[in-house]
Each structure stands twice: as structure tokens, then as C-alpha cells.
Amino acid sequence: MKIKKHKRKVLKNIVFKCCPIMKMFFPSVTHLQYIRCDKQVIIVQTKIIKNSIIYSILAIFLVTYAVPQPVMYAAEQTSQKTEKVKQNPAKIKRNLKELAINIMNIDAYATTIKNEPNPPLTNIKSVPNELKSDIQRNFTNAKWNANQWSNSLKPSMNTFLDRIVDFNDAYQKIQSKLLSVLKEENKQKIKSEIEYLNDIILVQKRNADMLVNKLIQFRNNITKDTQRFQNNTNQLEVHAITSSTADIPLLKRKINYYNNVIDDTDYRIAAGSVACATLVGCIWGGFEIDSAKREKRDAEYQIRKLKAKIQGIEKDIATITNVQNKLSNMVHKVDKAIDSLQNLTNYWHLLSSKYDNLLNDVDILSANELNLLREDLQIASASWEQIKQFAKSLSQALK
């Protein structure tokens, strides 16, 4: 196929639109030629000067470093000083949601443990009285810890959520005053309002820290309960060897399996409840709750059925194993609640640090930076209002 050459045409607009600075250094780069081959147009670069490579590097260098360093540094400092009060509502709400779900899960376990009857053990002659007393004592301790959750820790968790609602109300009042004094550029009043706000943040942080410590102590207590029950079942199994023909390991595996099903359904019920309480996916939440409740009822029925088929020491082992499984799952939920609460505690610490740094920078903020700070405060105000409504909905769901 014969290729016909056509006249040359300089395609400056194509290159210059992409990078106008190229026009200053090497117009020859845009010296291109059209070649028509049937209905296709092939653009071929006909001349690339060797020095163009050097010019390209020079152009990139000049573009990169054309802005004076003091100007770039000033821009960076302005950004750092005026972006200190922005929130991350999505992250905060995610931690609040996980905290609420785990509170519901722990509450479900605490209720079950409180209502679990103690194993009688009275008619089993092969079990020493000392072991019987130890088992009864361990059940008493486990129920005491479950009551401790219901009577003290759970109300404290609700109070924590209520304090977030209260913080927002206080924040909105202070923010309104801050906007006013920022407009006046009264730096002394600005510092006074920031100090007051930081004091409120520090109170929130201290309350969260205390709650984390309480949860850690509670987790340690129920972990000890779990270990004690594990030791009790091990001792009972030794005595069961001589007085029982049942497959104890198989019995324990079945109970463990059904407790894992219950653990999963409890999470789904709590997640569905949170979804409905916060109006996020309530239709899904309703279906999930109904489905999970059916599965939970079936798993609980299967455990009762297993215990109904056995007598004596096997039944006592089944009862203790059941409580031990629930306590173990409860420990896991408390761990997750601690993680969520610790993340929120870290957030209060970070927020306090940011306002503390802002307080130190007030005297050197320019009029433009004060204006940017006003904009950031307005954004933060809207974020806290979202967080307040979310925390309020969760608190209502937990009561």
C-alpha cells in the first residue's frame, strides 16, 4: 500500500495546552508531521533535538522550585495552625457503635449467668466435699461479677454516652462565643474560651480513662472466673472416669458449639438493634434480629436437651462447661469494648493536645488564619452535632 506524504503541520496547541511552560524552552518538540495511510492518520515526531532532554529536566526543576521556600513554609504553617480543630465524625461514630454492640452482648451474658442455677452436686458421692464447695463458691463469685456489671458498669457506660451529648451542648455554647471573639480578633478572649473548652475536654478524657480501668478490672475478674471453672471441670472429669460411661469430651464440644452459635446471634441481635436505633439500615436490622433470635432459641433448646438426657456428674459438668463458655465469650466482648473505649479515650487526648497547641499559637495567628479557624470551628460544630445525635440514639437503645 503506497503511503502518500502530506505537508508538515506544527501541532503547538496540543502540547502547549498540556504544559505551557514547554513553549518557553523547546518549540521544536512540537514539530510533527502527518502521514495519511488510507483512513488512518499517524502522527510521527520527526525531530527531537538531543538537548531537549536537558531542557526537559531544567523545566521540571524550575517548576518544582520556582516557589520560594519561605512562601511554601508559610503556607504549610498556616495549614497546621488552622486545621487543629477538625473532627473525624465517621471514626468516632464507628467506635461508639462497636462499643454499644459489645455493651449489649456483655449485658446478655450477664443476665444469663445471673439466672443460671447452681449445680446441685449433693447426690454425687464420688466428688469430694472440698471440690463441691469450691464449685458453689465459684458460681457465687461469677454471679456477683454479673451483678456488678448490671448494677455499676452498664450504668457507667450509659453515663459515658450521655456525657458525649452534654459535651456537645457545652461545645456549641463555647463555639458560639469563640466565633464572636475571633471576628473581633480579640486574642485574649480567644485564649480564654479555648482554655475553658480544653478543660471540658480533659474532664471527658479523665472520665473515659476511669471507665477503661473499671472495664479492665472487670475483665480480669471474669477471666479468673473462667479459669476457676475450667479447673473445676477438669477435676470433675477425673472423678467421672470411675462413675460415668458418657463421652465427656464430646459433650463439652457440643455445648461449646451451641454457645458459639449463641455468641454469633447475640452480636447480630445487638448490631440490628443499633442499626434500628440510629436509623441506619433499620429494615435490614429488623430482619437480622428476627433471624438471629430464632437461631439463638434453637441453640439454647439444644443445650437444655443435652442436659436433660444426662444425670449426675455428667449434668454438673455440662452446667459448669456452659457457664464457662459464656464467661469466656464474655471476656472477649469486654476486650472489644475496652478497645473501642480506649480509641475514644485516645481521641479525647488528641483533641486536648490540638487545642493546647492552638492555645500556644493564638498570639502569632494572622487575620487570615483567624478567619480560617472560624471556618474550621463551624465544620467542627456540625460534626459534633452529628456525634451527639448518634450517641443519644445509642444511649436510648441501651436503656
Which of these ranges, 20-29, 179-188, 223-232, 318-327, has the smallest mean pLDDT? 20-29
- 300 shares its domain with 339: yes
Cα angle 269, 252, 125 (rounded to 5 degrees) comes to: 125
Any domain includes 79: no
> Long-range CB contacts (< 8 A, 24+ apart) of 243-248?
243/124, 243/126, 243/312, 243/313, 244/312, 244/313, 244/314, 246/310, 246/314, 248/314, 248/317
In a domain, 372, yes or no: yes
pLDDT per position as a tens digit, 57-102: 333 333 333 333 333 333 344 444 544 555 678 889 999 999 999 9
Work out how many domains the chain is built from and give that number.
2
Residue 380 inside a domain? The answer is yes
User: In the prediction, which pLDDT does 5 show?
Assistant: 41
Same-domain status, 146 and 234: yes
pLDDT tier, 32 (very low <50, low <70, confident <90, very high otherwise): very low
Task: Provide the 10 A C-beta neighbour count for residue 89.
Answer: 16
Are residue 351 and residue 215 in the same domain, yes or no? yes
For 18, the domain range is 4-66
Model confidence pLDDT, tens digit, residues 211-247: 999 999 999 999 999 999 999 999 988 887 766 667 8
Give the pTM.
Answer: 0.75
Both 105 and 62 in one domain: the answer is no
User: Does residue 73 fall inside a structural domain?
Assistant: no
Q: What is the pLDDT of residues 257-298, one digit of tens each?
A: 999 999 999 999 999 999 888 876 666 667 889 999 999 999
Strand intervals (E) in 267-327 = none
Domain identity same for 55 and 169: no
Dist. CA 274–CA 289, nearest whole Å: 11
Of residues 5 and 216, the one with the higher pLDDT is 216
Residue 107 sits in a domain whose CATH number is 1.20.1170.10
- Report if residue 74 sits inside a domain: no
Residues 125 and 23 in one domain: no
Q: What is the pLDDT of residue 20?
A: 44
- Which domain-ending residue is among 66, 98, 116? 66
* Pairwise CA distance, residues 254 & 121, whole Å: 22
Does the residue 147 lie in any domain?
yes
Domain shared by 95 and 40, yes or no: no
Q: In this structure, are 179 and 290 located in the same domain?
A: yes
Per-residue pLDDT at 123: 67
Whole-number Å distance between alpha carbons of 225 and 223 = 5
Same domain, 297 and 392: yes
124 with 242, same domain? yes
3-state secondary structure of 62: helix
Q: Same structural domain for residues 94 and 54? A: no
Looking at the predicted structure, is the pLDDT value of residue 11 above 50?
A: no
> How many whole angstroms separate alpha carbon 103 and alpha carbon 97?
10
- CA trace torsion 263, 265, 267, 273 (10° rounding): -150
Percent of the chain with pLDDT over 90: 52
On whether residue 369 sits in a domain, the answer given is yes
How far is CA 160 from each of CA 146, 163, 177, 204, 389, rounded to the nearest angstrom?
20, 5, 26, 9, 14
Residues 178, 246 share a domain: yes
342 located within any domain: yes
